[in-house]
Structure 1
Amino acid sequence: MRNFFLVAVAALSMTACRQNDSVIESDSSFDMKSASAEYTSQCSKPVQTVSGNITSSNNHWTADKIWEIDGIVNVQSGVTLTIEPGTFIKAKPKTNNTASGVLVVQKGGKLIANGTSTAPIVFTSYNLLDCDGDTGGAPGDFGGIVILGDAPINTGTATIEGLSGSQYEYGGTNSAHNGGSLTYVRIEYGGFDLLAPNSGNEINGLTLGGVGNGTTLDHIQVSYGKDDAFEWFGGTVNASNLIAFAQDDDGFDFDNGYVGTITNALALADFNSTHSLSGGNPDSNGIELDNNAGGTSTPLLTHPIVNGLTIIGARNNTQGALYENGIHIRRHGQLTLNDALVTGYPTGIRVEGTGSALAALNLSTIYAHGFTTATIGTPAISNTATGTPAATFFLTGTPFFNSGSWSIAPRTWNYNGAWTNYSF
């Protein structure tokens, strides 16, 4: 969640970036170009356009087609949409400020999108599926995925950020709500502002509103999003093996009483991506956490548990100045960390304001670096560092994306599986 959005900083000037509007990484091991074999193997498939409401569970999106979302597609209450492994989905291009490529699972609906490690389900830019090697993806080419449920939130019920209308309400009393299953899923070049540029009311790569712990979220990657990669608005859903890569704003954003557990999560910055501003100042964080937008204390507090967290920003302070905090806890929000490493941001971990808190079962498992300040307002964390270049702590590889080949060994879960499309 943020207040303002800034369009892209200068595009890369390397030969590989032949188009003006693409955001393409400087390290060829992160291959998101349309010339890559994965996209060219898909681009000649027939296109099936879908629009409006999905009213029957007989809908199955199959891998023999490219599925095109025209505008906002709604999976209605009582309906299940199933997507086969290896299926590619894109948005139908629209005029400015008209939402397209937005898939919403309304309260009571389900999305079953279970890819595999070798055949992930990919939501991506239409420019990567046009069989034209001279075009590339840009943030906003795809809308985003929104899942809504009736699990508890601390504002009663609410309408999800980025959309309007009663059909987009979420929240309730059902902690066990089941919105379906997403496994081995990539969401690329997402994000959309429904109202107007810089309105502060954007759709994220994956938005979860009041989603319950009957839902499965595992092996999900969100890349080059126009706003946050992942955002939780209340709910109890657990998640594992998440990658937030090169997002414009926050990697992981928690609000409105979210109390689930995240296991194994990586937020990896690319300083060549777009960057958000608030009041003219950098506003991109690895994690941003609020109890609610008003900053009030409520019986249900935002308090996720994150086990196995890795937040990697920029290598030097010039690049790092494009960002704000590795972790920002504020407005009565609370966070429990276990086995966490944060590096490459101006401030590593910032706890701000009355009622906000950071906890850990063992503080010795938390590592925090900041170019200016390692920690602000936290308990006594012994594993800290300041200055430039950013600390790598116990990592044996080169963890910063823009510094050649990339590795965060010995943090070993499936970051470099075929499902990511990257040679991690």
Structure 2
Amino acid sequence: MKLNIVNFTIFLFTILSFSQTKSYDDQMKWMKGWTNFDPNHEDYPEAEEKLPNIINTDSYLSNDVVYLMSGNVYIIDNATLTIQEGTIIRCDTEDASSLVVTKGSRLIAKGSKTLPIVFTSNNTKRSRNPGDWGGIIVIGSGKVNAATSKTVEGNFLPQYAEYGGSREDENTTEMSYVRIEYAGKKINQSKELNGLSLYALGKNSILHHIMISYSADDSFEVFGGSANMNNLISFKAKDDDYDFTLGYTGMLDNILAIRHPYISDSSGSYAIEADGYDPKSGLDATRILSEIHIKNATLINLSDISNYKFTTAAISSKNMAKLNVTQSRISGFANVVLFDTSYTSYTDLENKFLLENSIFNVHGPTVIAKSQFATIGNIDQLLKYNMYTKHFQAVDNVFVDPFHRKHPKFTIKDSDTYTVMQ
């Protein structure tokens, strides 16, 4: 039988895509051993020692002590705080507490698969809530594209809140096998802290195997800098899972975002929000816009036919950010990507956005662009090198065991319901 070239190409693409998907399922074994998808039932030991609010000399936290962080703790004067694997830091819910690593200082928090480092609420089990405490703020001297104010968000001492510079090679922090639970405290209507805020980190910073659960704002927010990251988990954040702005340029590999359709910020929340720059800070014309490369992402909204109408797009791209996403899976959202009005032509979209060799399952238009040109042509063609479900599928029809309380499994099910964008 003679095989049509177009059909053969589609067939070959399908085989390659599923081959890479199965390979990625194998890679997801990196989640085993150190994660906790049910932290509200974890019976953490009581805190024994309070951290000082100023750390100005090299210091070490040992895992044979459970620490209490009460009020903001600042690492200053080029000091390094080293945290031993298996250490637990309980965070005060009454006196708003955050760990602030100031410019020139360093945080070395290197847990292990069997002994992760845990930052969590000081409330007892079954009474912990998103926003119980502030979060972790790491401030570097790398590049940002802000034209004006360069102080971190939140009510922090101004002498310790400045960020940014020209030290692109700086090793600002080393974090691995770290869990951050119930952070993201809301200060006021316009100021909310994230689980982990990374400001202008140098490219020699090391961040991998980090899980952020139940953040009341973003899980990860990255303000400029050029640090690459991998093996990251955001679990049921109220706002964005991964937020990039101020000219961040870097690569993320193996990231997981698990959202719930009933958990969202009033302004709209996304698995990925990419900002080319922050309009509130203005754009330094000598600096570049954000350029983010993401490989092996699994972005899931735990929706089904009864609640999918509460979902938003998986990705929000704004202010001419450039975003490349490959070998990934997007499921349960209203749309794949939402573009703001800064993208004024189809050429802008082609030059600034790529989704390739991926699978998606959404219930609305795949691409939404707010500019007037959006009605011209078929903007769905942006996604032509991907596969999609013929009809919207509930999350448990797509993934093996996504609702298991302690050990959810996000392996994609074998299915004949996928087709190739043409």
Shorter-chain TM range is 0.7 to 0.9
Q: Secondary structure at the match of 2:93?
A: coil
| 1:285 pairs with 2:258 | no
Gaps of 5+ in 1: 1-28, 412-424
| 1:188 pairs with 2:194 | no
Distance 1:141 1:403, change over 3 A: closer
Cα offset, 1:370, TM superposition:
2.0
Q: Distance in 2 between matches of 1:316 and 1:410?
A: 16
Residue number among 92, 99, 114 corresponding to 2:96 in the alignment: 99
Q: Distance in 1 between matches of 2:404 and 2:266?
A: 22
| 1:351 pairs with 2:336 | no
Q: Which has the higher contact order (CA 8 A, sep 6+)?
A: 1
Deviations 1:127-168 (Å, cap 9, x if unpaired)?
24xxxx5x4310112321000011000015611122342421
| 1:143 pairs with 2:145 | no
Amino acid of the structure 1 residue aligned with 2:49: Q
| 1:113 pairs with 2:104 | no
Q: Residue in 1 aligned with 2:57? A: 56
Contact 2:322 2:353 survives alignment (8 Å): no
Counterparts of 1:9-408 in structure 2, within 5 Å, are 30-34=37-41, 36=42, 39=43, 42-44=44-46, 47-57=48-58, 59-94=59-94, 99-100=96-97, 102-128=98-124, 135-156=126-147, 158-164=150-156, 165-194=158-187, 196=188, 199-271=189-261, 274-278=263-267, 283-294=268-279, 298=285, 299-355=287-343, 357=349, 363-377=355-369, 379-382=381-384, 383-385=387-389, 388-390=392-394, 397-398=400-401, 400-401=402-403, 406-408=408-410
Give the alignment's TM-score, normalised by structure 1: 0.77
Cα offset, 1:52, TM superposition:
1.9
Cα offset, 1:204, TM superposition:
0.2
Amino acid of the structure 1 residue aligned with 2:408: W
Q: Percent identity?
A: 29
Gaps of 5+ in 2: 1-35, 370-378, 414-422
Q: Distance in 2 between matches of 1:192 and 1:166?
A: 22
Amino acid of the structure 2 residue aligned with 1:99: A
Contact 1:342 1:348 survives alignment (8 Å): yes
Cα offset, 1:405, TM superposition:
7.1
Deviations 1:153-191 (Å, cap 9, x if unpaired)?
001561112234242111111111211200000000001
Deviations 1:360-400 (Å, cap 9, x if unpaired)?
9985413233222222356531323475434789x6624x4
Q: Residue in 2 aligned with 1:15? A: none
Distance 1:292 1:374, change over 3 A: same
Amino acid of the structure 2 residue aligned with 1:408: F
Cα offset, 1:292, TM superposition:
2.2
Q: Distance in 2 between matches of 1:361 and 1:275?
A: 25
Q: Residue in 1 aligned with 2:6? A: none
Contact 2:332 2:362 survives alignment (8 Å): yes
Rg (Cα) greater in structure? 2
State which drifts further: 201-210 or 59-68: 59-68
Amino acid of the structure 1 residue aligned with 2:103: K
Q: Secondary structure at the match of 1:321?
A: helix
Contact 1:348 1:375 survives alignment (8 Å): yes
Contact 1:372 1:387 survives alignment (8 Å): no
Amino acid of the structure 2 residue aligned with 1:376: I
Distance 1:338 1:361, change over 3 A: farther
Q: Distance in 1 between matches of 2:39 and 2:215?
A: 13
Contact 1:338 1:360 survives alignment (8 Å): no
Cα offset, 1:336, TM superposition:
1.1
Q: Distance in 2 between matches of 1:55 and 1:224?
A: 31
Aligned residues: 357
Distance 1:396 1:250, change over 3 A: closer
Distance 1:212 1:63, change over 3 A: same
Q: Distance in 2 between matches of 1:236 and 1:329?
A: 19
Q: Distance in 1 between matches of 2:219 and 2:71?
A: 20
Contact 2:51 2:70 survives alignment (8 Å): yes
Q: Residue in 1 aligned with 2:29? A: none
Cα offset, 1:93, TM superposition:
3.0
Give the alignment's TM-score, normalised by structure 2: 0.77
Contact 2:180 2:212 survives alignment (8 Å): yes
Cα offset, 1:342, TM superposition:
1.1
Q: Distance in 1 between matches of 2:390 and 2:318?
A: 22
Distance 1:216 1:357, change over 3 A: farther
Cα offset, 1:322, TM superposition:
3.3
Q: Secondary structure at the match of 2:315?
A: strand
Contact 1:47 1:66 survives alignment (8 Å): yes
Contact 2:323 2:354 survives alignment (8 Å): no
Greater helix percent: which structure? 2
Amino acid of the structure 2 residue aligned with 1:53: I
